[in-house]
Amino acid sequence: MPTFLTALPVYNEVRHVSAVLDEVLRFTPEVLVVDDGSTDGTSQLLATRRDVRVVRHADNRGYGAALATAFAATLAGDFDGLVTIDCDGQHQPRLIPDFIAAASGPQGADIVSGSRYLRRFPGDSEPPAARQRVNAEITAEINERLGLALTDAFCGFKAYSRRALECLHVTELGYAMPLEVWVQAAAAGLRIVELPVPLLYLDLARSFGGALDDAATRLAYYRRVLDSAASATCPHSDASTKLPSHRAPV
């Protein structure tokens, strides 16, 4: 049986972390929490747990930095791959085995990405209009530029094969880290599949932090990161053009 590490990036999730971890442990025994400099009591709560591994960043470095730590921990261990799941209660841990299965074996995908827009589930939330619009615009741009067919560029519920992690070199520390992943995955010809997941927004007022709460500012930031990742991956090409057309389809 394949052995996958399941990692949760955590920042100030004292309200959710215990319940989410208890549920995650029902479906996978290998769990890593990356505490990204929490200041709300999350760190103290995690210090009482003996059933999960915890890596703590002394300062808040960002979502991408937390996932980079998870990538490194997976490659440093004897794992076949990594599952990432958010700790805000929006993802359903019962789906972890489905993600592992889709990323396992000779026919498994290199990246299995959750999509909140592949199909509707009973009880699905109505997403905040600005967030859905930004997601749709960036997802369409990624598909056009990289030759992919994603429906949800930003879902944090993912599984990565070990091969995928060996190909990915994350430098983007913030929320735009998935865009860097898509560019690098396309350039490496990784096989990508999406799995439908419920669309749940438990806190409609949840903040991205500072200026990124403004949708236009967030969209511009995402585009800058996409341009930068494309330029870094294909330094001799125009970052506004599509990467070479032999990339693996979703």
Q: What is the pLDDT of residues 83-109, one digit of tens each?
A: 999 998 788 999 999 999 999 988 899
Checking if the pLDDT of 205 tops 70, the result is: no
- Residues 81 and 111: their CA atoms lie apart, in Å, by 10
Pairing relationship of beta strands 111-115 and 158-161 according to DSSP bridges: antiparallel
Domain map of the chain by residue range?
4-233
CA-based angle 156:30:76, to the nearest 5? 85
Give whole-number Cα distances, 207 to 2, 211, 239, in Å: 36, 10, 30
Among the listed residues 161, 162, 181, 163, the one whose alpha carbon sits nearest the alpha carbon of residue 171: 181
Give the separation between CA 89 and CA 16, rounded to whole angstroms.
Answer: 6
**What does the alpha-carbon distance between residue 86 and residue 79 come to, in Å, rounded to a whole number?**
20
| Confidence at residue 127, expressed as pLDDT on a 0 to 100 scale | 73
Could you please state the CATH topology (level 3) that the domain comprising 4-233 is classified under. Spore Coat Polysaccharide Biosynthesis Protein SpsA; Chain A (3.90.550)
pLDDT-derived band at 211, boundaries 50, 70, 90: low
Predicted confidence (pLDDT) per residue in 143-159, tens digit = 999 999 999 999 999 99
Percentage of the residues of the chain whose pLDDT score is greater than 90 = 72
> Greater confidence, 174 or 1?
174
Write out pLDDT tens, residues 7-51.
999 999 999 999 999 999 999 999 999 999 999 999 999 999 999
pTM to 2 decimal places: 0.88
